[in-house]
Amino acid sequence: MKEEMMVRKYVSLFLLYALIAMTISGIVLYVMPHGRVAYWTGWRFLGLDKDQWDSLHTIFGFLMIFFGIWHVILNWKNIVNYLKGRAGIITSKEFFITTIVALTITIGIIANVSPFKTVMDIGERIKNSWPKPETMPPAPHAELFSLKKVAQIIGLSPQKAIGVLESKGIKVESPDEILKDIAAKNNTTPARIYEILSGISKKY
């Protein structure tokens, strides 16, 4: 009995931590800019980038599922009692109310009707409020373009592009290196690299 109580404490605490992590990361993912903008501008919140917030949300989501199932197993008798009515079968008022509410929410989300649509629309407006004309990438996920491809788009030779970047203190190993990796190694953003190169190209 003592060991079971100890297990219950651990499971409950892990569920609490997972809930906190899922709540915070869920809110961040709800309001963060779309991937093409987040990656391009090097967007961060509390020092973490988009991929790190995605990872936090996903891993703690799996942990919440794991400990949630464990919690159900530990409390199975109580849950069955919640479902049972006076006749001893699944006829409780609480069971029917919670089931109907859960199904209604599920159908509403799938059908994309208010108020669920409104919630998603608000999130979309917040996401779209981040990018400005000067921070928009020249193409979707341009941070994955090689320096050679970016130079071609701008109208510079790869060698010229490397020379320009190195003159600004940005080290480049190869013209085949992608902007995201160059930016990460030089503590800058793909947008900044593109800004430097496009600024030079306008002088020619």
pLDDT in tens, 82-110: 777 555 556 667 778 888 999 999 999 99
Mean pLDDT over each residue of the chain, to the nearest integer? 86
Q: Supply the pLDDT for residue 204.
A: 47
pLDDT above 60 for 119: yes
201 or 22, which is more confident: 22
pLDDT above 50 for 152: yes
Could you tell me the two tokens for 119?
């919630």
The residues, any chain, with a CB within 8 Å of residue 194's CB and separated by 6 or more, are 137, 138, 142, 150, 154, 179
CA angle 190, 126, 139 (to 5 degrees): 30
The rounded distance, in Å, linking the Cα atoms of 179 and 52 is: 19
